[in-house]
Amino acid sequence: MTLIKSISGFRGTIGGRTDDNLTPVDAVKFAAAYGTWVKQQLPKENYRIVVGRDARISGEMIQELVMNTLVGLGIQVIDLGLSTTPTVEVAVPMEHADGGIILTASHNPKQWNALKLLNNKGEFINAEEGARVLEIAEKQDFIFAEVDDLGKITKNDAYIDMHIDEILDLELVNTEAIKKAKFSVVVDAVNSTGGIAIPLLLERLGVETIKLYCEPTGEFPHNPEPLKEHLTDICKKVLQEKANLGVVVDPDVDRLAIIDENGQMFGEEYTLVAVADYILGHKKGNTVSNLSSSRALRDVTEKHGGTYSASAVGEVNVVKLMKDTQAVIGGEGNGGIIYPELHYGRDSLVGIALFLSLLAERSISVSELRKTYPAYYMAKNKIQLTPSLDVDTILATIAQRYQKEEISTVDGVKIDFPENWVHLRKSNTEPIIRIYTEAKTQETADILAEKFIAEIKEIAGI
């Protein structure tokens, strides 16, 4: 069982002992720490925090604990109930709230849950802010409200519809072209809240929707991370239904994967590439993704006359660099689309609307679209960490070995070879070392990954 306390929030498995897992006691402690931090930002009389959750089995329990802890601090809570991560992010500024909490463990299996923490802009809190919340949690430096000053919970289930309204109002979402194209789309929402939000969006866009795993029960029918090996059912369904494409989202709807009309993966890395191609075709500008993302985004950006920049892994890092470079589109290669015209957060709903706009305007199939982009292939591997592994020493040794190559140590170690690259880093959300490689063939990417896995094990003596 595991509890991970990080600057981006608190993530753990349900059950077990306190401070080793995400127990009810830990949920209350972390909610109290975050609520206390919010109150310290700007002393005033009334505070408001938006709270929403994915459909995990533990979600209702954790949400009740979190919301009532905030009430105990004298904070007004706007309860979105079953929602999506991007919907909560959109709701915070619309509510003029002081922050937001999303209860989701993203792509982790059903035994996990987490508190993801937002600032008053609806963006993830930064490293310094996260460190302060952690400090408050460790000290348990809480002052709760007296009985006459308790907060209240106000339910609001309109925000998914309002989120969709905001998307349809975007200049580059070509609703008319999408409706004329008469697309049919299979949706795999892994039995979470995407099963509520995505069909509503597609209906508004005039798209025929074929639902697969869209009941928000929290019983994930397959591993919820939208990777090729987990998506055999939707690939078959797209072929059976003769659909134009399939869309897959993770439990909190901030990662988007596309299936082409032949039941083949478009490529998780290429979701952002395609959306960026569409945006840059209408509006010149710069792009950002993280160090573990495909070179294809750089290639497409430069084709349109823009400048590509790479950040450390983590949405907050991508967003900061996007603001610094005034990027018009950005995100992460795991299918996370960040479109600043809407908000600075990964958003599968806006990603779907922009991707369909691209298909409709070009009158092109998904497989044909994929052929227009540079062909890169990635391998994504991981090594489980043990307490005896000194990750920093391992990575420093690798960097020393390859010092003659182009190296970035902004986040772990990334080595750029002329024809391929490898990125080694300690995960922020799981006790693992991630090994990402990219090359011009899958075989080369796999061989490169195996080579570095062997080197890590050799250095670590395992």
User: Is pTM, for the whole model, over 0.85?
Assistant: yes
Residue 458, judged by CB atoms within 10 A of its CB (0-12, 13-18, 19+), counts as exposed
Position 316: which residue type? V
Distance separating alpha carbons of residues 408 and 196, to the nearest angstrom: 41
Count helices and strands in the chain by DSSP H and E runs: 15, 20
Tens digit of each residue's pLDDT (9 = 90 or more) over 72-98: 999 999 999 999 999 999 999 999 999
Q: Poorest-confidence range of 164-178, 342-356, 401-415? A: 401-415
The answer, yes or no, to whether residue 388 has pLDDT greater than 90, is no
Q: Could you check whether 3-157 and 377-460 share the same CATH topology?
A: no
Position 281: which residue type? G
Q: Report the residue count for the chain.
A: 462
Boundaries of every domain in the chain: 3-157, 162-371, 377-460
Tens digit of each residue's pLDDT (9 = 90 or more) over 302-332: 999 999 999 998 899 999 999 999 999 999 9
The answer, yes or no, to whether residue 29 has pLDDT greater than 90, is yes
Stretch 337-356: mean pLDDT: 98
Query: Are the CB atoms for 93 and 120 separated by under 8 Å?
Result: yes
Domain 377-460, CATH 3.40.50.2300 — does that match? no
The answer, yes or no, to whether residue 1 has pLDDT greater than 60, is no
pLDDT score at 429 = 66
Domain range 162-371, CATH architecture: 3-Layer(aba) Sandwich (3.40)
CB burial of 348-363 (b: ≥16 within 10 Å; e: otherwise) equals: bbbbbbbbbbbbbbee
- The reply to whether 192 belongs to the active site is no
**Beta strand extents in 215-362 (DSSP E only):** 245-249, 256-259, 286-290, 308-311, 327-332, 336-338
Selected residue with higher pLDDT from 4 and 174? 174
Stretch 208-217: mean pLDDT: 98
Q: Which class does domain 3-157 fall in?
A: alpha beta
Stretch 377-385: mean pLDDT: 88
Tokens encoding 388: 């005896």
**Beta strand extents in 92-228 (DSSP E only):** 99-103, 112-118, 153-155, 184-188, 208-212
∠ Cα 316 313 343 (to 5°):
35
What does residue 4 show for φ and ψ, rounded to 5 degrees? -115, 120
Selected residue with higher pLDDT from 186 and 391? 186
* DSSP symbols for 45-85: S--EEEEEE-S-TTHHHHHHHHHHHHHHTT-EEEEEEE--H
Tokens encoding 38: 């919010």
- Kindly state the helix (H) or strand (E) to which residue 381 belongs, with its residue range: strand 377-384
CA-closest candidate to residue 437, choices 462, 455, 458, 461: 455
Tens digit of each residue's pLDDT (9 = 90 or more) over 116-158: 999 999 999 999 999 999 999 999 989 999 999 999 999 999 9
The residue from 106, 292, 293, 294 that is catalytic is: 106
End-to-end CA distance of the chain: 23
Distance separating alpha carbons of residues 253 and 162, to the nearest angstrom: 16
What does residue 293 show for φ and ψ, rounded to 5 degrees? -95, 165
- Compute the mean pLDDT over every residue in the chain, rounded to the nearest whole number: 95
